[in-house]
Amino acid sequence: MTRTAIVTGGSRGIGREIVTRLAADGFAVVVGYAGNEELAAAAVREAEESGGRAIAVQADVAEEQAVAAMFDAAESAFGGVDVVAHAAGKMALSTVADLDLSVLDAVYRTNVRGTFAVAQQAARRMRDGGALITFSSSVVGLAFPTYAPYTASKGAVEALTMVLARELRGRDITVNTVAPGPTATDLFFEGKDQATVDRLAAQPPLERLGTPSDIAAATAFLAGPDGRWVNGQVLRANGGII
């Protein structure tokens, strides 16, 4: 039986690299995407070129019915769901003093409500022996100024991890969170000058930025047979920053 993975945020950045990696590892993959159909189609092609089967499904992760429909599509196309990698997210930067609370609401809608909506469907519908991988960020520990809205939302994701792992007792389903450090994606480079990029790249003892393939490898470990004894954990994939 072919195992099936849903990857939200699968059309770009880290999510897209996860799609390609899981397809190469033998998964049938559902590429969840928010709005860019062209990028999602390209992610499907890359997955197929890696030897896997894939489909793209548009879904706002904060919309309960849309998330349920994405799981419906996975079950219809591939027979069930074994792994969910929830990489979709939203970032906004502001000091607390200057924060527009409507911006906070938008961040929480995607990062907190969206994680709960995806985790809820995963808990209801993943086959026994499955794996749910959510995404936080190493900024939760680094506590950079202006990152409070994003950090607070990702702290909520981490708080969910062990609770849900315990709620799924008896089903052999693991629940873990990957918390990347600075990673070389288009989103990371946006708005940063070279001096800022160099400073962030110098922070880890390994003295470089992470790559999407680094994060995809950590995700694939948790999704695969070698990660079955890791449960309820936050994996800080950041080269040793903290």
Q: What is the CATH number of the domain that holds 180?
A: 3.40.50.720
Alpha helices in 109-147 (DSSP H): 114-125, 139-142
Cα gap 217→215, rounded to integer Å: 5
150 is catalytic: yes
Given a contact cutoff of 8 angstroms between Cβ atoms, the answer to whether 13 and 38 are in contact is no
- Average pLDDT of the residues in 202-223: 95
Residue 37: is its pLDDT beyond 80?
Answer: yes
E strands present in 16-110: 28-33, 54-58, 83-86
Residue 1: is its pLDDT beyond 90?
Answer: no
Residues whose CB is less than 8 angstroms from the CB of residue 163 and which lie 6 or more positions away in sequence, other chains included: none
pLDDT digits (tens, 9 = 90+) for 146-175: 999 999 999 999 999 999 999 999 999 999
Cα gap 29→56, rounded to integer Å: 8
37 assigned to some structural domain: yes
105 assigned to some structural domain: yes
pLDDT digits (tens, 9 = 90+) for 125-145: 999 999 999 999 999 998 889
240 assigned to some structural domain: no
Q: Which residues of 120-141 are buried (b: 16+ CB within 10 A; e: fewer)?
A: ebbbebbbeebbbbbbbbbbbb
pTM above 0.75, yes or no: yes
Q: Which of 33, 108, 147, 150 is catalytic?
A: 150
242 assigned to some structural domain: no
Cα gap 166→154, rounded to integer Å: 20
Mean residue pLDDT across the chain: 95
69 assigned to some structural domain: yes
How many structural domains are present in the chain?
Answer: 1
34 assigned to some structural domain: yes
- Average pLDDT of the residues in 43-49: 94
241 assigned to some structural domain: no
Q: Which one is predicted more confidently, 192 or 238?
A: 238
Count of Cβ atoms closer than 10 Å to residue 119 Cβ: 22
Amino acid 190: pLDDT: 78
Residue 187: is its pLDDT beyond 80?
Answer: no
175 assigned to some structural domain: yes
Q: Which domain holds residue 16?
A: 4-235
